[in-house]
Structure 1
Amino acid sequence: MPNVICPCGFSVPKGTKCDCRLKQAKARQAANDKGRGSASERGYTAEWQRESKAFLLALGAPLCACGCGRPANMVDHIKAPKGDMILFWDRTNWQPFARGCNSRKNIKAEGGFGR
């Protein structure tokens, strides 16, 4: 497979990323994570675990809201709260989701991996 020239000037095999690109991606992810706060700082505390589990139990054995037919094993926010704790705790903004579907939804809606 032929090599390509990275914008930094290095020759890399086609289909791979140059070290400079990997470092840039890691730096973007670190900056994104720092500004985002930890899970508990965003509201995902023991109280959230208890309440979201109770929400799923109250629904019986719910299926994922995306329509894939998988059993739901977590609670998703329909509209991302982004720091709005009233929206975060609003149960009308909650829906049952399978973890893989939730990750895919969030990457598609908000960008993933620091983007």
Structure 2
Amino acid sequence: MANRITACGCSVPKGTRCPHEQAKATARQQANDAARGSAASRGYDGKWRTESKAWLAALGSPLCACGCGREANMVDHITAPKGDQRLFWSRSNWQPYNGLCNRRKAIMTEGGFGRHKGL
């Protein structure tokens, strides 16, 4: 595989990052993580785990709301609450989801892996 020359002048194999690019990416990720806060600080705590498990159990054996046919193993917010506790706890905003599908949805709607939000 051929090498590529990075903006800082490093020569690295295609598909890899030089130490400078990696350091910048790590710093960006740490800043994003700090700004976002922990799962518990966003409301995904013991109370959420208890309530969401009970809600799923009450549905029986629900399938993922995305239509993939997988068994739902978590609760997803239809509209991301973004700190709105009423929206967070509104069961009309909950849907059964599979964890894999939920991660895919989050990447596509909230950005990730180089994708812009909403693509």
Moved over 4 A (4+): none
Are the aligned partners of 1:28 and 1:114 in contact in 2 as well (CA < 8 Å)?
A: no
Q: Which runs of 5+ in 2 are unaligned?
A: none
Unaligned ranges ≥5, structure 1: none
Cα displacement (A) at 1:112: 2.0
Q: TM-score, normalised by structure 2?
A: 0.91
Report % sequence identity: 65
Please state if 1:59 is matched with 2:59: yes
Secondary structure (helix, strand or coil) at the match of 1:76 reads strand
Distance 1:45 1:114, change over 3 A: farther
- Residues 44-102 of structure 1: CA deviation (Å, up to 9, x unaligned): 11110111011101111000001110000000001111111111001111000000110
Paired positions, count: 115
Q: Does 1:48 align with 2:48?
A: yes
TM-score scaled by structure 1? 0.94
Match of 1:41, SS?
A: helix
In the alignment, what sits opposite 1:101? 101
Q: Partner residue of 2:21? A: 21
